[in-house]
Amino acid sequence: MPKIKTHSGAKKRFKLSKNGKPMRAHAYTSHQPRLKTQKRKRGLRGTTVADSTNQRQIKRLIPYK
């Protein structure tokens, strides 16, 4: 069976957790940091699990990660 190409945009944006769930970064972090509170910025810093409706598609885009 031929190899599947990894989607180059998805490999930069997602990684898989130890349990195989796709992890993503939070949105709303790049623009106008002075208008966000310190508590909000601290909460947006880490990663989170991608939504369950998108997990199958993300796994298909990064098959070898």
> For the chain, which residues make up each domain, given as ranges?
8-61
Pick the CATH number of 8-61 from 3.40.430.10, 4.10.410.60, 3.30.1310.10, 3.30.70.890: 4.10.410.60
Distance (Å, whole) CA 48 – CA 27: 11
What percent of the chain is modeled with pLDDT above 90?
A: 92
- In 3D, which of 44, 47, 9 has the Cα closest to residue 30? 44
pTM over 0.85: no
pLDDT one-digit tens code per residue, 27-45: 999 999 899 999 999 999 9
Helix or strand run (H / E) with residue 23: strand 22-25
What's the pLDDT band for 1 if we cut at 50, 70, 90? confident
- In 3D, which of 15, 30, 31, 50 has the Cα closest to residue 6? 15
